Structure formats: structure tokens, C-alpha cells
Amino acid sequence: MEAVITLFLILPAILYIWNLFDSYPDALSGLFSPGFDFGGQRITVGLSIAALAGLYCSFYVSQIAPKILLDEKILGRQMDRGVRGSIGHLIRYLIIFIGLLLTFSLLGFSMTNVTIILSALGVGIGFGLQGIVNNFVSGLILLLKRPIREGDTIVLSEQWAQVKRIGMRATIIETFDKSEMVIPNADMINNHVTNWTLSNRQVRLSVPVGVDYGSDVSLVVETILACAKDNKSVMESPAPEVLFLNLGESSLDFKLRAWLQDADDLLTVKSQLYHQILKRFREKGITIPFPQRDLHLYGVASPGIESLENLEHGRSPEDAPV
């Protein structure tokens, strides 16, 4: 854009030097005055350049103004990153909107004509751009209501991810596998999203554990609780606890509940606790059972049943009674 403006400033001087015009102002007038009529309004080259320059300036200001206003040393000192990002987006789009209005004004359009254009655009939106408008409105809701903020840890469709950027059309999230997903804002509003860090980053970890029916219950509780207290990521307050929940089909079912300071450590700490619990169970002789089933055979004797009975009594098929 700077090159275009420079060209239109130098070109009249070149035309004047070549004696194509009597003076530099005449060269400017001759270069910028050609145009065409549109809706009763004369659109000249000069007006078009001024409108493009104003639009370019609005885009440029929309990029630098939020960074200056929301700098941590100015207005953003007491704002977290999510708030600064939301307000920055709103300031950016507001400046662009004002720039568009100024562009129409420079071209000579009255607000009545602008209203007509916007009305026609609204009809087009109603027929063909419903999805885009829906995502745009959903983006405004995300930025204003802030149910999800940049940097939050969420679960969307059973996928753990971190919110990287909230735009006006889509939200970019990064999974724990470092893959980035572009999610339409309408999906973020309409679908079920679990936000683990909306009010704070603390999270409660639940670790189910099953042991054999012959195990010492007090020893099991003591061992599991010791593993939780020895883990540095587990908070001391609220204190971890072990609950005896159920007499299962094949096991005695317990559950460890512990609080973590940061939700991002949830899966890592759960893995660490399972490693420690399994190690200490083996040291103390506590066994973890697997599902068992008893098979009962009823009815008239058959060769298959006789073979099973022979094997049960330690006889080979050749030694079976005739």
C-alpha cells in the first residue's frame, strides 16, 4: 500500500517534468480526477485512493491499538491473558467497522445508501450465510460471556485439549498430542464442553482400585493413602481420602480421591499413582484380582463331558472306564 501511495505522488511530478501538464497541481488533478458515476455519485481515482488509504489505516491501527492499550504496563496490568485477548478482539473489530464507515463516507455515500446496502447484505445473509453469521454471533458470545477462555483446558467430544485462540468464526484448540483443531464457534456454544479451568485450575483426581477378597482392608487403605501423600503434585489440603465403595463380583472396590493444583497434571499424576500403588501392593502381598467365572455342566453324559471328568481326575482318555 505504501508503494501505491508513493507512486501516485511521484507520477504527477514525472508528468509535469515531461511537460504534459503546466504545473504539479494540474498534474495531480489530471491524474486523480478521472472516474465513473455510480448511483448518482462520482467515484474518482482520487476518492478511491483516499478510501483505500483510510481502509488500510484502519486495518493497521486495529493491529497495533490493542497491543498498546492492553499492554501489561498500561491498561492490561490487572487483566489475565484471556481477558486481554477477548477485549483485544473486540477493539480490533470495532476499529475495522469504523474504518469501513469512513471508507463509505470518503466515497460520498450517505448513511441512507449504506443502510440500503446493509439491508441487501442482510437478505443475502439470511439465505446463504446463516452458518457464517451463526459462528460470528457465537464468537461474540465466547468473547463477551467468556465460558471458554484462551489457555483453558477443556474436554470436547472426549478429546482433551487447550484453547489456543478464539476468533470471530472459529476457535483453535491444541490437543495433548500437539495437533491443532479448528472448531466452529457454534459447536463450542451448542455442544457439551467440559472446562476444567473456568474458575480455577484445581481439579479432583479419582483413582479406582480393586483388590482380592482375602485382602486386609485396613492395609489396603493405608497403602493407597500413603502413595497419594508421597506424591508431590497431590495437595495436602483438602487431604486425599480412600473410600471403600463396593463389594464387586471379583474384587473389593476402593477409590482414591485427591486434589491437584493444576488440571494439566491430571493424567500424569494418575499414571504415577498407579505405578506406586502396584509397586507397594506387590511389596505387601496385596493381589489385584481378575474376573473369574465358574462353569457348571448339567444333563446326560456325553463324550465331551466324560473327557472333562477324566482330566479333572487326572486320567488320560485311554484310561477312561468303558
Residue 263: pLDDT band (50, 70, 90) is confident
Domain assignments of the chain as residue spans, ordered by start: 2-141, 148-195, 200-322
For the ranges 64-73, 78-87, 154-163, 177-186, the lowest mean pLDDT is seen at: 78-87
pLDDT, mean of residues 297-305: 58
* Proportion of the chain above pLDDT 70, given as a percent: 65
Residue-wise burial string across 37-59, b where 16 or more C-beta atoms lie within 10 A, e elsewhere: eeeeeebeebbebbbebbbbebe
Q: Supply the pTM of this predicted model.
A: 0.53
- Residue of 263 and 241 predicted with greater confidence: 241
Mean pLDDT of the chain: 77
CA gyration radius, the chain: 36
Lowest mean pLDDT, pick from 13-27, 175-189, 215-229, 239-253 = 13-27
pLDDT at 256: 95
102-111, 176-185, 268-277: range with highest mean pLDDT: 268-277
Mean pLDDT of 184-203: 86
| Percentage of the chain exceeding pLDDT 90 | 24
Mean pLDDT of 168-188: 88
pLDDT at 12 over 50: yes
Q: What is the pLDDT of residue 75?
A: 56
Q: What's the topology of domain 200-322?
A: Alpha-Beta Plaits (3.30.70)
Lowest mean pLDDT, pick from 205-209, 274-278, 309-313: 309-313
Reported as a single tens digit per residue, the pLDDT across 73-111 is 555 555 656 566 667 777 887 888 888 777 777 766 666
481477558: which residue's cell? Answer: 83
d(CA 53, CA 59): 10
What is the predicted pLDDT for the residue at 322?
A: 47
* CATH 2.30.30.60 holds for 148-195: yes
Residue 294 has phi, psi (to 5 degrees) of: -95, 135
pLDDT mean over 282-306: 73
CA–CA gap between residue 273 and residue 96 (Å, rounded): 52
Which is more confident, 39 or 118? 118
Residues 225-255 pLDDT 10s: 999 999 999 999 889 999 999 998 889 999 9
Residue 310 has which C-alpha cell?
477324566
- In terms of Cβ atoms closer than 10 Å to its own Cβ (0-12, 13-18, 19+), residue 102 is middle
Helix-then-strand count for the chain, H and E:
10, 10
